[in-house]
Structure 1
Amino acid sequence: MKKTIQLSILLVLATVFTYAQNEYEASKAFPYGQPNPEAPKQIKDYQDLIGLCNCKSTSRNPDQTWAEPVDMTWKWRYIMNGKAVQDETLKADGNHSGSIRQFIADSSKWYVHYYSSAGPTTSLGTWEGNKNDDGNIVLFKAQNAPSGTEGFSRLTFYDISESGYKWIGEWVDKSGTITFPFWKIECVRE
């Protein structure tokens, strides 16, 4: 009898501990997870993107003209028990991608680690940045232009609302005076 009670107590404690470890993960009530209140407040920077959107993805052709838009689904969710954000794109052309997004309080920046089915790699590209006063999320990664000119890859989420958002990828020179858009996406919430 005493062993049965001890075992029951251990099972209850294990259940409570497991729930606390996964309390903010996806569930029936919250299919895309929830922000963990113990995470930095910036975890809510992406709250208006969380969920599912139908998008049009347009990138440059090799001759630098714009290609025809590709249908895409962009799914966002909280991961790591609500302490990080993951996004995943599923494109009609068969190229898929995603990112893991973590805010690091010591540097006061988001670090975004990108992966793609079109370019598997042993080392993920990383952009860093923040949400600005205009409500845009702007991320940078050092990247030279094909000509060798030093600059950055700049990724910007803008026009963020309950109905959707827009995204643009641009190459920007170090002074910020030359900008070349290479990819754009427009999304409408499902």
Structure 2
Amino acid sequence: MNNRYYVIIGVLFCVIVAISGCTIPWTGSGTNGNNPPDVQGVTAASLTGPGTIIIEQGNNESIKVEGSDSDKSNLEIIKTGPSLEIISKASADVKIYLTVKDITALTISGPGIINATGKVEQLAITITGQGTVNAKDLSAQNAVVTVTGEGEALVNAVQTLVATVTGTGSIKYQGNPQVQQTVTGGGSVSKA
């Protein structure tokens, strides 16, 4: 009877955690190294540190990590609601392949790279540091791009682009959007 009580409490706890939408962390070490978290419903991705995230749109939402065992053990993936945060202390060789139905926000801090393809209505890109976001093959009706530092953003905007650069970074855009730009420092906003 005592064991049954603990099982019921354990099941209730798991249900409460699942319903609450709390943070689900994953570290690539140990036996779960090949089983990162479920990415269903993710619409925002961020990378802190070195590495490359390759994002494409698709109905079969998934994530796959490619790299050495050492790289995988130095990678933390945290899902909080629709946001996926990847914290990397791995080498620049680590690659994360992410397939999602929709992507609305890309954030990078540090020297990493995010490449994204597909078609979206709204897109927000934020770069802090030396990172690169290549979204030239991700067509966005409206895009808001902010670069602080030396980073580089390549974006494909159809209707509007709000571009802000602070520092020596750059924003290059494709398409013929209405552009509202603010540049502080030696940075630039230009048509690709």
Relative to its length, the structure with more strand (as a share) is 2
TM-score normalised by structure 2 residue count? 0.34
TM-score normalised by structure 1 residue count? 0.34
Larger radius of gyration: 1
